[in-house]
Copies of this chain bind each other. A is one copy, B any other.
Amino acid sequence: MTYTIGVDIGGTNTDLGIVDENGRIAARRHYPTNAYTELAPYIATMMQMVEELMQEVGASSVAGIGIGAPNGNYYTGCVDNAPNLTIKGVLDFGKEIHKYRDVPVVLSNDANAAAYGEYVYGGAKGMQHFIMFTLGTGVGSGIVVDGKLVHGSTGGAGELGHNILVPHGRKCSCGREGCLETYTSARGIVQTYCELKGVPVTADVTSKMIGELAHQGDPVALKTWETVGDQLGLAMANSVTFSAPEAIFLMGGPAQVGDPLLKPLRAAFEKYLLNIYAGSCQIRMSELRANEVAILGAAALVKMGSSR
């Protein structure tokens, strides 16, 4: 059995697992990212855990280490000044990891990793063209064209959450206005609900709660998901004009609400889709488990290989 290590670096926690050829996470660990301000001790801990994971499954070697990280750059193998990490600067993960173990290290951003995980282990197996949208704190995306993740000239391709959906619309954390993310992220959904309800946005309203309200038949909550579905459906239909994918996958907390989002989303997608694409592209939910997708996606990157 060949094993691969998948590492998901979040601002708060780092999750890692050892993944077998069938996409099963045979063992996993986690530790606090935000306990570190320097790369070297952070990697020392990671590599200690990699040794433990290998011992646990009886593996004498691994095919590589895949890393999904905020601002992870596939071409350079570095994390470039990620605002939500306590370890600052341009971080060369490959170089640091190679002090411990001479294996391929492949790094990309978390949404790209999720897309590639779907390709290698999930519902996108065998698909040459698809797009993944991840809804969460922000809105991420990963795009596969001709069976390869699109990284673009900079390594930073696939940021459809920052497609401007509404010119001069809501203020975005990126400094611009009207990005898709400001409408269909967890925060955007809360804002829409509060606007429809006519109440100020407060920290005790969550997208999860709005999901529960919708399932109880709350009309404002239902209208919120309809609005979000319409906005996301438009963005997805627009993305089809780019790469004509055979499927668009959706994952992340807010997407778990199910029908209150998916029904208006699919209706809007059909409505906004250019006629030449009618019937050629399905909206599907990710087939990977929410608590596994990040590790599996990171591990999947190793199958793609490094550009270096």
Which residues from chain A sit less than 8 Å from chain B, CB to CB? 127-129, 143, 145-146, 148, 150-160, 162-164, 166-167, 174-176, 234, 237-239, 241-246, 272, 274-277, 280-281
Q: Is the CB of B244 within 8 A of A151?
A: yes
In the assembled complex, how far is the CB of residue A17 from the closest CB belonging to chain B, in whole angstroms?
A: 29
Closest chain B residue to A160, Cβ basis: B241
Of B154, B272, B276, which contacts A159 at CB under 8 A? B276
A145-B150, A152-B243, A158-B244 known, 12 other contacts, Cβ within 8 Å: A143-B242, A145-B145, A146-B150, A153-B244, A153-B245, A154-B280, A157-B242, A159-B274, A164-B238, A167-B234, A174-B274, A242-B243
- For A280, give the chain B residue with the smallest CB separation: B154
In this complex, which of A152, A160, A162, A238 has the most chain B Cβ atoms within 10 angstroms of its Cβ?
A: A152
Quick check: B157 and A244 within 8 Å, CB to CB?
Answer: yes
* Complex alpha-carbon distance, A152 and B129, angstroms: 6
Contact A176 B272 (CB under 8 A): yes
Number of copies: 2
Complex Cα gap A153–B114 (Å) = 21
What is the CB-to-nearest-CB distance from A130 to chain B, in angstroms, rounded to a whole number?
8
The distance in angstroms between the C-alpha atoms of A160 and B166, with both chains bound, is: 17
Contact B241 A163, beta carbon cutoff 8 Å: yes
- The answer to whether A153 and B241 touch across the interface, beta carbons within 8 angstroms, is no
Judging by beta carbons under 8 Å apart, are A241 and B162 in contact? Answer: yes
**Closest CB-CB distance, A298 to chain B, in whole Å?**
21
Pull 12 A–B residue pairs with CB atoms less than 8 Å apart, ordered by A.
A127-B153, A143-B243, A146-B150, A150-B243, A150-B244, A153-B281, A155-B244, A156-B276, A156-B280, A157-B244, A176-B274, A238-B238
Closest CB pairs A-B (n = 6) = A152-B244, A157-B244, A153-B246, A129-B153, A159-B241, A162-B274
CA distance A167 to B169 in the complex (A): 12
Known interface pairs A175-B275, A274-B174; A238-B163 also in contact (CB < 8 Å): yes
Interfacial chain B residues near A243, Cβ < 8 Å: 143, 150, 152, 157, 242
Residue on B with the closest CB to A172? B274
Residues of chain B with a CB closer than 8 A to A155's CB: 244
Which residues of chain B are near A241, meaning CB under 8 Å?
157-160, 162-163
CA distance A199 to B206 in the complex (A): 50
Complex Cα spacing A237 to B164, Å: 9
